[in-house]
């Protein structure tokens, strides 16, 4: 059993002020302190200018936040660009359920996020940027978001679509110039009030990372949006559609994307089928059901313990999209407890320690199957 330090905080102010606050918080994170410096020649001035322009267009305010962050940790903005664009996340499971399938008649969502406990920042925050929608969610690279929900009742969360995309040797090379997933999700949460607005925004947004993005809003709409190598597709559901839930793991699910990437990691297919069977066998899904789904051990469930292989459960989350709340259990362990956060209440800053149980069994990550 190992330990991990969790940080909960709230940020308010301009983008620059929030970036500076984040930098001060990051200086106290051991994981962040190990950040490698930008290799010489990692980005040319032209490439840096291109990224700056892209952020200004599709993620307004992010450049100012990066600047504030860089000044707080006494580094350069170019270093922060390199840091921001080299993140990978190989494993997640995600489910969104509309009111007809839930016991309380609410829109609900459940998410497991897998990564390495040695590189994850273990942070959850509520952010109120001046002139943008307030939101709360999991921190990625301090200023990004892996998932979240905003004050209008829009929830967004992602899983990787196939092998992670990035500039590292073990990753799939980007096919298009565009944004990483963490910037996409944060931009949606800060600027869109419902699923329809989010889909309209995604239509024109350049996205380099291959993602499965699930969106849901408190009005009872949900959508699965997928992009791979610049190709985009989506499926939308509401109270008039036969399908009343959407789920995703780490492979292509929509036929337009399957045509481009017909192979999937067996672990991803196994988790995908498990979620589908869970929903089909359930009657009136409640919060307790979703927590059991998330914390049951793989392969009979979704919780994984291969942290050294970047496939260990960092956090499990249950969203009540209708109420604007999220419950979190860290480390995939029931004994760590569930903590509840609400959009209508301020979040009290706190730090606490949770247990991480790593697996002694061998992780087999090389098997692929045809979808």
Asked whether residue 223 is assigned to any structural domain, the reply reads yes
Return left, alpha or beta for 303; rule: phi > 0 is left, psi -120 to 50 is alpha, else beta: beta
CATH number at residue 275: 3.60.60.10
**What pTM was estimated for this model as a whole?**
0.92
User: Does residue 156 share a domain with residue 46?
Assistant: no
Span 36-61, average pLDDT: 76
User: Does residue 156 share a domain with residue 44?
Assistant: no
User: Does residue 63 share a domain with residue 199?
Assistant: no
Range of the domain at 36: 13-84
- Number of domains comprising the chain: 2
Last residue in a domain, options 84, 110, 141: 84
**Would you place residue 34 in the very low, low, confident or very high pLDDT band (cuts 50, 70, 90)?**
very low
pLDDT value at 29 more than 60: yes
pLDDT value at 170 more than 60: no
pLDDT value at 87 more than 80: no
Span 199-212, average pLDDT: 93
What whole-number percentage of the chain has pLDDT above 70?
89
Distance CA 316, CA 328 (A): 6
Asked whether residue 357 is assigned to any structural domain, the reply reads no
- Please report the pLDDT score of residue 70 as a whole number: 86
Asked whether residue 5 is assigned to any structural domain, the reply reads no
**Would you place residue 164 in the very low, low, confident or very high pLDDT band (cuts 50, 70, 90)?**
low
């Amino acid at each position: 059993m190992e330990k991990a330090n969790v940080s909960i905080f709230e940020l308010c102010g301009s983008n620059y002020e929030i970036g500076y606050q984040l930098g001060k918080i990051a200086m106290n994170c051991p994981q962040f302190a190990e950040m490698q410096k930008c290799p010489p020649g990692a980005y040319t001035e032209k490439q840096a200018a291109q990224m700056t322009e892209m952020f200004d267009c599709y993620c307004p305010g992010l450049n100012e936040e990066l600047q504030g962050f860089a000044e707080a940790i006494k580094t350069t903005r170019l270093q922060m660009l390199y840091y921001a664009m080299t993140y990978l996340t190989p494993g997640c499971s995600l489910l969104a359920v509309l009111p007809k399938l839930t016991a309380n008649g609410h829109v609900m969502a459940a998410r497991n996020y897998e990564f390495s406990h040695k590189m994850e920042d273990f942070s959850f925050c509520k952010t109120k940027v001046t002139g943008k929608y307030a939101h709360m969610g999991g921190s990625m690279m301090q200023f990004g978001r892996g998932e979240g929900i905003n004050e209008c009742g829009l929830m967004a969360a992602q899983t990787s679509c196939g092998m992670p995309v990035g500039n590292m040797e073990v990753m799939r090379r980007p096919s298009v110039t565009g944004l990483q997933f963490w910037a996409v999700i944060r931009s949606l949460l800060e600027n869109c009030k419902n699923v329809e607005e989010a889909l309209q925004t995604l239509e024109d947004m350049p996205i380099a990372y291959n993602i499965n993005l699930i969106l849901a809003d408190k009005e009872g709409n949900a959508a699965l949006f997928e992009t791979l190598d610049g190709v985009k597709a989506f499926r939308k559901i509401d109270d008039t559609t036969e399908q009343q839930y959407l789920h995703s793991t780490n492979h292509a699910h929509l036929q337009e994307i399957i045509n481009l990437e017909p192979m999937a990691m067996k672990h991803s297919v196994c988790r995908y089928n498990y979620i589908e069977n869970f929903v089909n066998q359930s009657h009136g899904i409640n919060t307790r059901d979703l927590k059991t789904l998330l914390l049951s051990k793989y392969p009979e469930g979704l919780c994984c313990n291969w942290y050294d292989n970047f496939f260990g459960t960092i956090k499990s989350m249950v969203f009540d999209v209708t109420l604007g709340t999220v419950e979190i259990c860290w480390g995939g362990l029931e004994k760590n407890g569930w903590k509840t956060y609400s959009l209508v209440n301020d979040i009290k800053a706190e730090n606490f320690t949770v247990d991480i149980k790593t697996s002694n069994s061998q992780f087999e990550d090389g098997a692929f199957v045809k979808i």
